[in-house]
Amino acid sequence: MKKKDKLLIILMTILPWLSIPFIGKKALKRFLPGSLFMSLYLIAEGRFAEKKKWWWFPYSIKPNVLAELPLIFGPFLVGALWILKYTYGKFNLYLLVNILIDSFFTYFGLKWLKKIGYVSLARLTRFQLSIVFLIKTFVLYGFQIVYEKCCHLSKNSSL
Give the chain's domain count.
1
Q: Is residue 110 part of a domain?
A: yes
Q: What pTM was computed for the model?
A: 0.88
Q: Is residue 10 part of a domain?
A: no
Provide the domain limits for residue 117: 34-157
Q: Is residue 9 part of a domain?
A: no
Closest CA to 151 of 23, 80, 143: 143
Q: Is the pLDDT reported for residue 133 higher than 70?
A: yes
**Tens digits of residue pLDDT in 4-44:** 877 888 899 999 999 999 999 999 999 999 999 999 999 99
pLDDT recorded at residue 135: 97
**Tens digits of residue pLDDT in 68-125:** 899 999 999 999 999 999 999 999 999 999 999 999 999 999 998 898 888 899 999 9
